[in-house]
Amino acid sequence: MSKTRIAFIGAGNMASSLIGGLLAKGLDAAQIRASDPGADTRAKVAEQHGIELFADNAQAVQDADVIVIAVKPQAMKAVCQDLRPHLKPHQLLVSIAAGITCASLLEWLGTQPLVRCMPNTPALLGKGVSGLYATAQVTPAQRQQADELLSAVGIVVWVETEAQIDAVTAVSGSGPAYFFLLIEAMTAAGVKLGLSHEVAEQLAEQTALGAAHMAVSSDVDASELRRRVTSPAGTTDAAIKSFQASGFEAMVEKALSAAAHRSAEMAEQLGQ
């Protein structure tokens, strides 16, 4: 990436996080450009990151090796169709828009090397995980560029088929909200057991963080970590048995299937 020139179309939350991550990794501000219709957004991002911003998308993509389209899914069609006459065949397009398929993108952009990504919200803090899918035109060097780009805001996993992006959406794209729901429910249960809301919330949040750290840093899987903290007939055992008697695993499977199904359904609607 030391010489790669990157253009961001849309300079909102996700683009700004990626730009910040890339600069922190040592990219020169002169390698990055962005465009956005909002004068306030342009001024804010220019001041925060010291990069050049444009009101015109076509100006931003001139001479770029990689073009990241970071607008809301509803704006993708118009943005891609307007960009089409300004693209050069070697330019790698990276879409981070939720629910827009490669078929739709290529129809709007014309034939281009294309990587479709599904990042998640913790990317805004540099703690994200992104699922990436590359179309056949993407060269190994461009794959590496996309990998390094999304690695600026977290970790990256590659999937083999585009349909797997719906599964990525179900697990990690929508996933932060599942943990927020669990934190909410644990906080409410702690309050019912006699704690103040503030204390219950602190306990639930820090426990989620600590457990995630343990799972990520350990060389054994989550089921083994769970076994290690569950003494037979102890307190954790009582809670886990209660979760399982209420069908916890089946509930999670059903919820993630609903998310994956909705992701595929939205792709059809947004692709029209």
Q: Using CB under 6 A as the criterion, which residues of the chain lie in contact with ligand NAP when the complex forms?
A: 9-15, 35-38, 41, 57, 70-73, 75, 79, 96-98, 119-121, 124
Closer to ligand NAP by CB, 87 or 200: give it. 87
Per-residue three-class SS string for 104-165: HHHHHHCCCCEEEEECCHHHHHCCEEEEEEECCCCCHHHHHHHHHHHHCCEEEEECCCCCHH
* Least distance CB 16 / ligand NAP (angstroms): 7
* Least distance CB 116 / ligand NAP (angstroms): 11
Residues 74, 9: Cα–Cα separation, whole Å: 14
Which residue carries 């990276």 as its tokens? Answer: 94
* Least distance CB 102 / ligand NAP (angstroms): 15
Closer to ligand NAP by CB, 120 or 263: give it. 120
* DSSP conformation letters of 32-98: EEEE-S-HHHHHHHHHHH--EEES-HHHHHTT-SEEEE-S-GGGHHHHHHHHGGG--TTPEEEE--T
Closer to ligand NAP by CB, 27 or 100: give it. 100
* Least distance CB 242 / ligand NAP (angstroms): 33
Closer to ligand NAP by CB, 95 or 112: give it. 95
Closer to ligand NAP by CB, 11 or 22: give it. 11
* Least distance CB 60 / ligand NAP (angstroms): 9
Residues 76, 128: Cα–Cα separation, whole Å: 22
* Least distance CB 196 / ligand NAP (angstroms): 31
Q: How many residues does the chain have?
A: 272
* DSSP conformation letters of 227-271: HHT--TTSHHHHHHHHHHHTTHHHHHHHHHHHHHHHHHHHHHHHT
Q: Which of 176, 78, 79 is nearest to 119 (CA)?
A: 176
* Least distance CB 95 / ligand NAP (angstroms): 8
Backbone Cα Rg of the chain: 21
Residue sitting closest to ligand NAP (CB): 12
In this structure, what token pair is assigned to residue 115? 């990587």
Closer to ligand NAP by CB, 76 or 200: give it. 76
Closer to ligand NAP by CB, 4 or 121: give it. 121
